[in-house]
Structure 1
Amino acid sequence: MADDIDIQQHIRGLIDEEHSLRGKLGVGEISVEEENQRLRTLEVELDQCWDLLRQRRAKREFGEDPSGAQVRDAGTVENYRG
């Protein structure tokens, strides 16, 4: 992902897919198990994208190059404590 706009567009695409999955489940095109499996994957990918945006913004705020931010592994972004 090249820049913030690309990341934001990817996030929108993931959210659109999430809504589509819920619609498909509602009309019986997919099973609950299929929906849940894909939703888990989407949630991790969304968390990674949001984390990447936060990293880029922090680097920019402190005068660093935002392109140095990297996607962190699922285990890292899924184990954050709020």
Structure 2
Amino acid sequence: MKTNQRILHHITEMADEERRLRDHLVTDGAADPAGNRARLVELERELDQCWDLLRQRRARSEFGENPDEAHVRPQSQVENYKS
């Protein structure tokens, strides 16, 4: 369970950073818009991977399997995953 909490905490941190970057782009135009956009893309991909990992862990737990056997899948496999 502690691992799930760490994943959720990491998701929250990344989502907060994503919101700050988006707000910064809208309100200030941002000092480095290209860099901020690149970071947003990176965050979105990392978030997709984290959500996927958390779902894998929860599913494994639900079906009596070891959640620690879940693994981070490639970004190309989980990109734009919708819950």
TM-score (norm 2): 0.83
The corresponding residue for 2:31 is 30
For structure 2, the residue ranges without an aligned partner over 5 or more in a row are: none
One-letter amino acid matched to 2:19: H
After the TM superposition, which of the residue ranges 71-80 and 10-19 deviates more from structure 2?
71-80
Deviations 1:46-80 (A, max 9, x none): 00000001100110011001011111111111176
- When the two chains are superposed, the root-mean-square deviation of aligned CA atoms in Å is 2.2
For structure 1, the residue ranges without an aligned partner over 5 or more in a row are: none
Instruction: Map 1:1-82; keep pairs closer than 5 Å.
Output: 3-25=3-25, 26-78=27-79
One-letter amino acid matched to 1:57: R
Distance 1:22 1:78 in 2: 19
Given that 2:30 and 2:36 are in contact with CA atoms closer than 8 Å, whether structure 1 keeps it comes out as no
TM-score (norm 1): 0.84
Aligned pairs, how many? 81
Given that 2:60 and 2:67 are in contact with CA atoms closer than 8 Å, whether structure 1 keeps it comes out as yes
